[in-house]
């Protein structure tokens, strides 16, 4: 039997990248999946691909920062599949236009700050707010929150993004603490760069190569690398894991930033 047989999952940001890969992996493991995204067409396409391979999926158009839309998303899962067991809070605001303006804290536009927090943090809180009652009705569940290595260590830019990701770490702990005794687990996954289509389109190859140098692996993460961890955390094999943040970052947060430069220097020196 597949690990998530008879489970029902919601994946936000499911139209592409990590979200799309996770939706496919959860479906492969037997879960019925609500593919949720502000990109309704993209979500529908992912759901259809899952169904074409024998899985169960429906699409839901949702702006995760809007309370009523998140409530409707959860209602879709319960209406279509009868319950809710897994929520992967994965949607985030990370467009190049936003990221380039999220520069120095002394220059931050308060409206940009609020916009980032509204999606990256409020969206996750709203997901939990509406998912938890549905999970409790079925005896429990798992919330997996996508955070970032930048929520654990800082960069020279993107303070709003980094602060939102750090707050997700705290939110994860709070959910686990408040609802653990009622059968709900909450885990965050701290990602570094993931080799999505958006990354390939927006990050120059030399920068990608530089970032590979800072990994302790030989490559960047693929979306499926993250999806497999989400599937594991959502399964009963991870029943004793909650209230924590798991790095899925190729070792980036395990060493000092000078590591890559020292390594290149030693290689050049022979």
Q: Which residues are catalytic?
A: 161
What dihedral angle (degrees, nearest 10) is formed by the CA atoms of 147, 223, 20, 63? Answer: 30
Cα 27 to Cα 121: distance, rounded to the nearest angstrom: 26
Cβ-count burial 52-71 (b if 16+ within 10 Å, e if not): eeebbbbbbbbebbbeebbe
The answer to whether 22 touches 226, Cβ cutoff 8 Å, is yes
Tokens of 100: 């380039």
Contact between 56 and 236 under an 8 Å Cβ cutoff? The reply is no
* CA pair distance 131, 114, nearest whole angstrom: 24
> Length of the chain, please?
270
SS (HEC) of 104-115: CHHHCCHHHHHH
The pairing of strands 141-148 and 8-12 is unpaired
139-142, Cβ contacts within 8 angstroms, sequence gap of 24 or more: 139/183, 140/85, 140/182, 140/183, 140/184, 140/185, 141/84, 141/85, 141/86, 141/87, 141/183, 141/184, 141/185, 142/85, 142/86, 142/87, 142/184, 142/185, 142/186, 142/187, 142/233, 142/234, 142/238
Decide: helix, strand or coil at residue 240.
Answer: coil
């Amino acid at each position: 039997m597949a690990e998530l047989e008879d489970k029902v999952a919601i994946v936000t940001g499911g139209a592409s990248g990590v979200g799309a890969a996770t939706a496919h992996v959860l479906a492969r493991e037997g879960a019925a999946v609500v593919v949720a995204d502000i990109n309704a067409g993209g979500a529908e396409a992912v759901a259809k691909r899952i169904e074409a391979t024998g899985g169960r999926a429906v699409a839901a158009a949702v702006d995760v920062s809007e309370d009523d839309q998140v409530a409707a998303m959860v209602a879709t899962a319960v209406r279509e599949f009868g319950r809710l067991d897994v929520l992967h809070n994965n949607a985030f605001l990370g467009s190049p236009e936003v990221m380039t303006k999220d520069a120095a804290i002394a220059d931050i536009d308060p409206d940009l700050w609020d916009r980032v927090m509204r999606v990256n943090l409020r969206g996750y809180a709203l997901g939990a707010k509406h998912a938890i009652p549905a999970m409790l009705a079925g005896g429990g569940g798992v919330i997996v929150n996508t955070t970032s290595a930048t929520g654990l260590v800082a960069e020279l830019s993107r303070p709003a993004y980094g602060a939102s990701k750090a707050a997700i770490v705290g939110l994860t702990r709070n959910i686990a603490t408040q609802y653990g005794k009622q059968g709900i687990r909450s885990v965050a996954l701290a990602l570094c760069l993931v080799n999505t289509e958006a990354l390939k389109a927006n990050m120059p190859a030399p920068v990608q190569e530089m970032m590979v140098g800072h990994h302790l692996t030989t490559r960047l993460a693929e979306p499926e690398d993250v999806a497999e961890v989400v599937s594991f955390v959502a399964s009963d094999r991870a029943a004793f894991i909650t209230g924590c943040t798991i790095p899925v970052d190729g070792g980036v947060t395990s060493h000092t930033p000078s590591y890559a430069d020292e390594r290149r220097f030693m290689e050049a020196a022979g």
